[in-house]
Amino acid sequence: MNLSIKITWILLSIAITRSVFADNCEPCPPKEPAKCDPCYERALDKQYDQGHGICEGILPKAYNASGSIDLCGGLGAYVIGSFIYWESLGDQLDLGRVRITSPTPQELEFLEFKTGYHMGFKVGLGSHLKKDNWDLFSQYTRLHKKENTIFDPANKTGTFSTSWFQTISSSIILSEIISGIRASWKIELDKIDLELGRSYYIGNSVISRSFVSLSFYMLDQIYDLALSVPPNPALGIDVGIFNTSIKNDSWAIGPRFGLSTSWFIYKGFNLFGSATLSLMFAENEISGLGIEDSITYTVKKKDIYILRDVEEFSLGLSWGSYLTHDKWHFNISAAYEAQRYSHTNYMSYVSQLNDQSNEVKPGDLYLHGVTIVARFDF
């Protein structure tokens, strides 16, 4: 690379850096007077737009001044709507193990349960309190989905073994399986969070919001595994249908603590991140049923009580602006979000207690994906 090209790249980098970290505190353009609008003078005399980046020296440095949205009149409330496109991942959901005996050397293949992305939503309602600029916010999250996985053993020589079946101890011959090995995982998550928080400036272009919350959710899951083989009385197979269905209905409640931070980079655009931690008391109700050849059975209901930790994280880009002389405020954002719910897979608890397995801690549930949020203050 010659000298002129290097100099060009250096100057371009300096220009970009200066634009990102620039003060951006030019005087506001003159506003056109609105006839008989009581909010016009208020908007004209404001030193800064509360809830957005500000200039050096506007506020005392020793006080975390309110960083919440400040409207002229109105109800002091806001609504939030979110579109989520998330993938669910879980521990201990694999179908079983396939042993390929021909050709040699033999191969062992573990049948992984495969998942994909599904849509859900969040809706929230908040209100700014008069006491020290606190706000109260409630949000409902809904994600209902069903995942399916199938393994086709056609043209494979070997056996299939799994801990999900309860009454058979031997492996199933792959060539005998008629319509593939099928598994499904159904999830229904309904979650409510009630937050008490406060937004405050911690720098010219940085606003944080600390909050404490009460969180409650219901998480219902069903795991099914099924296959069929031709009846063969000589091998002790009378019906040839193998199907097990294990259900885990869970609810949890507990405190939730979090912190979100926004860094304003230019004209209402900001980068933001948030993290929360919950410690919840949870009940897990386990039940199920199955048919394995000529044997049918039910899993007697069992309740297990635990303490469950939940972690949530998000990182994204947002833009917001005051409208109509500060009577309204609109904000839109896009973020990557991830959540972890500990010890949720009590469906595998049943499979771990059969004759061929050892009991381990229940697996966790992981949710991650894209979240698009629109917020309107009024």
Note the pLDDT tens digit of each residue in 77-98: 999 999 999 999 999 999 988 9
- Round to whole Å and give the CA distance between 183 and 261: 42
* The pLDDT value given to residue 240: 80
Among 88, 133, 95, 168, smallest CA distance to 337 is for 88
pLDDT of residue 234: 65
CA 372 to each of CA 89, 275, 337: distance values in angstroms, whole numbers, following the listed order? 21, 17, 10
Check pLDDT > 80 for residue 374. yes
Q: Give the span between the Cα atoms of 133 and 198, in whole angstroms.
A: 7
Question: For residue 260, what are the β-bridge partners?
Answer: 209, 274
Place of tokens 């010659």: 2
What are the pLDDT digits (tens) for 341-356?
Answer: 999 999 887 776 665 5
Mean pLDDT of 2-21: 57
Which of 139-143, 152-156, 188-192 has the lowest average pLDDT?
Answer: 152-156
CATH fold, domain 57-377, is Lipocalin (2.40.128)
The whole-number average pLDDT for the span 237-254 is 90
pLDDT tens-digit map of 201-219: 998 899 999 999 999 999 9
Q: Which pLDDT value is given to residue 34?
A: 52
> Residue 210 class from Cβ within 10 Å (0-12 exposed, 13-18 middle, 19+ buried)?
middle
Position 37, amino acid = D
What are the Cα distances from residue 278, in Å, to 137, 184, 282, 290, 361?
17, 29, 12, 36, 20
Listing DSSP states for 32-91 in one string gives: PP-TT-HHHHHHHH-SS-TTS---TTSS-TTS--B-S---SSS-SEEEEEEEEEEEEEES
0.75 surpassed by pTM:
yes
Question: What is the mean predicted confidence (pLDDT) over 119-135?
Answer: 93
Tell which wins on pLDDT, 274 or 33. 274
Enter the tokens of residue 11: 């100057």
Residue 169 has φ and ψ, to the nearest 5°, of -105, -15
What's the pLDDT score for residue 145?
96
pLDDT of residue 173: 87
One-letter amino acid for residue 217 of the chain: Y
35 vs 363, which has greater pLDDT?
Answer: 363
How does pLDDT run across 160-178, given as a tens digit for each residue?
A: 988 888 887 778 888 888 8
Across the chain, mean pLDDT equals 87
Q: Of 197, 193, 195, which Cα lies nearest the Cα of 68?
A: 197
